[in-house]
Structure 1
Amino acid sequence: MQQYIARRLLFGLLTAVLVSLMVFALMRIAPGDVAQMIALDASGGEASSITEETLQQIRESLGLDDALHIQYIKWVRDFVTGNWGESFFTGRSVFSEFKTKFPVTLELVILSQILAVTLGIPAGIIMALKQDSRLDYIVRILSLAGLSVPSFWSATLLLVGGAYFLGWNPRLGYVSFFDNPIENLGQFIWPALMLGYISAATKARMMRSTMLEVLRQDYIRTAHAKGLAAFVVTARHALKNAFIPVVTVIGITTALALGGSVVMERIFTLPGIGNYILDGMLRRDFPVVQSLVLVLATAVIMVNLLVDLSYGWLDPRVRFQ
């Protein structure tokens, strides 16, 4: 078990290094000159007042004139020691912004996954128990729609439809849960529902498939033959074994929700990490994008590790070789 954990941690470390190299390279090869963007921002958009000497001074002050491998080593060294740098445009600490904005993203992801598990797992069980019934077909169509429709389209449709038919508009400005729980949940419920709908669809279809497979096993037929109630057979014998593969899906959809939060935060004007990263990408704010993408990648790696380790708790027959 210890060797397995060590191998997984090593694989996760290599994955994090690969992600850091990719995001570092992509930010450098993206079109546009970040020094010119900073100069334009400082001059109020007056391009005529910007000289080559000014651009060179900006590059030197930010270390952008160093060799690429030197820039990469400095960034990784500072990141590991807790110095995530400062935004090129605002001058504020990236770590301080992260502490402020991450709770917003975390709340959105947690709420979306609570809704996804609450809706998806029971839907999958019902579809399996009512196989080929009208209810099964209806839920399968809804789950297929959740997998097929892009999240940005469904969220935009919700906003447009709500504003046109109901006169509803999302609240602007973020309200902390500790300041006003009701208003906070009212602000998060729709983006969490849209984000959780996709995850719920994935969980429902996986739960249906694994549940049907388990229900066809000999020990399930034996339990029925002994006269056990259908509820007891399903809850005590079938559900736990059918749930094991779904754990992987829960981990994957949680990781995907971190990425999907970018779209939802943008559409519903939530001041989270995803929105902050997107602004940094549009402005080529290297410290913001590089550090926070690496943080999110590390979080995804840790979630996948926890999912793998949970197999042993759910099924003692599982052994890590």
Structure 2
Amino acid sequence: MGSYLIKRIISLIPILVGISILVFTILHLVPGDPASIMLGTEATPEAVAVLRAEMGLDKPLISQYLHWAGGLLQGDFGVSVHTGEEILPQILKRFLITLQLTIMAVVIGWTLAIPFGILSAIRSHSKTDKVIRILTLLGISVPNFAIGTLLLLGLSLYFNWFPPIDVVHFWDDPAEAFKVFILPAVTMGIVVAAGVMRMTRSAFMETMDKDFIRTARAKGNSQWTVVMGHALRNSSIPIVTIAGMQIGYLLGGSVIVEQLFSIPGLGQYVLDGIYQRDYPVVQGGVLFVALVFVLVNLIIDLIYTWIDPRIKY
């Protein structure tokens, strides 16, 4: 296990280098000059040229990339060209907000997905199964911004309730934080639940046809024992895989949901950087998201060995 961890950590290096090069190149191909945007339309060419020199944008792309990459190796993500603030502290600050939102969304999603997915599988082709499958299809098909908008409109029009605007952390005030995050978490949780529910049903239906399930039933075990004691663990690998991918995406920042509910998370931070052509912010934010996504996948791989002891690394 130790050698596997070392190999996986080493393999992160070329992945992150490749992502950094790709993001850096794509950003500099996007139309728009940060210096011109910052100075406005009435700026003279001389003023724009001076600011470009101060920002290092007049240097060759390879020089700009090496300067940025050299700072990353020292833990320096640079400073925002728009605000002048250091980027890494802002990323970590916004990530904590996104992390709380993600945890709440995952709890909601899994609480709905696992039991209803199992119920759909053990009662396949029944009316219950058909209702659950229709709801799952709706959850996958309807965009999360539409779900969030409907929740906002419904609660504000019929219950005269609006979520608080100021973000509060759970460790500061759990009750107030719950009010802040509940609507965006439900919006994201519905999408999470739909994907996990569909995978749970598929995995359980495949497992329930296995010989060891028939043997467990032949021994006189109850349905609960068969499902929870035998089928659940043997169906978990595909469920954990899809769940891990969803967690990675959510931790990267659900841009649309954060924008809709005015949550100052990591996704909104990167989106603002794109609008403002703030290259260091976008580059640092995307690279941090990539690192989080890769680490989540590494954790999921390690969980496989706990679920199925036959898996060895």
TM-score w.r.t. the length of structure 2 is 0.95
The aligned counterpart of 2:21 is 21
Q: Distance in 2 between matches of 1:63 and 1:318?
A: 50
Matched, 1:274 2:244: no
- Checking the alignment, whether the CA contact within 8 Å between 2:253 and 2:266 is kept in structure 1 is no
Match of 1:34 in 2: 34
Shift of 1:76: 1.0
Distance 1:96 1:8, change over 3 A: closer
Q: Give the conservation status (yes or no) of the 8 Å contact 1:105–1:272.
A: yes
Which stretch shifts more, 275-284 or 305-314?
A: 305-314
Contact 2:252 2:266 in 1 (8 A): no
| 1:278-312 per-position Cα deviation (integer Å, ceiling 9, x unaligned) | 10000011111111110110000011111112111
Tell me what 2:50 maps to: 57
Alpha-carbon contact 1:151-1:198 (below 8 Å) kept: yes
**Bigger shift: 106-115 or 158-167?**
158-167
Report deviation, 1:4.
4.1
Q: Do the aligned residues in 2 keep the contact of 1:125 with 1:207 (CA within 8 Å)?
A: yes
One-letter code of the match for 2:310? R
Q: Separation in 1 of the partners of 2:256 and 2:275?
A: 14
What is the aligned-residue RMSD (CA, Å)?
1.6
| Structure 2 equivalent of residue 283 of structure 1 | 276
* Structure 1 spans left out of the alignment, 5+ residues: 41-46
Aligned to 1:261: 254
* Structure 1 residue 6: Cα displacement: 4.4
1:190 matched residue in structure 2 = 183
For the Cα contact (< 8 Å) 2:251–2:292, is it kept in 1? no
- Equivalent position of 1:234 in the other structure: 227
Report the TM-score when normalising by structure 1.
0.93
Query: Are 1:19 and 1:294, in contact at CA under 8 Å, matched by a contact in 2?
Result: yes
Matched length: 313
Matched, 1:67 2:92: no
Residue 44 of structure 1 corresponds to none
Please state how far the C-alpha of 1:319 moved relative to its aligned partner.
2.8
**How far, CA to CA, are the matches of 1:295 and 1:25 in structure 2?**
17
Q: Which whole-Å CA distance do the structure 1 matches of 2:130 and 2:10 have between them?
A: 44
Q: Which residue in the other structure is 1:43 paired with? A: none
Amino acid at match of 2:38: I
**Which of the numbers 138, 143, 146 marks the counterpart of 1:145?**
138
- Equivalent-residue separation in structure 2 for 1:148 and 1:135 (angstroms): 20
Residue 158 of structure 1 deviates from its aligned partner by: 1.8
Matched letter for residue 78 of structure 1: G
Alignment partners' CA distance in 2, 1:172 and 1:60: 39
- Larger mean CA deviation between 71-80 and 256-265 belongs to 256-265
Q: Say whether 1:110 aligns with 2:103.
A: yes
Structure 1 residues 226 and 179 mapped into 2: Cα distance closer, same or farther (>3 Å)?
closer
- Percent identity (aligned): 40
- Asked if the contact 1:16–1:298 (Cα under 8 Å) also holds between the matched residues in 2, the reply is yes
SS, match of residue 254 in structure 2? helix
1:287 maps to amino acid: P
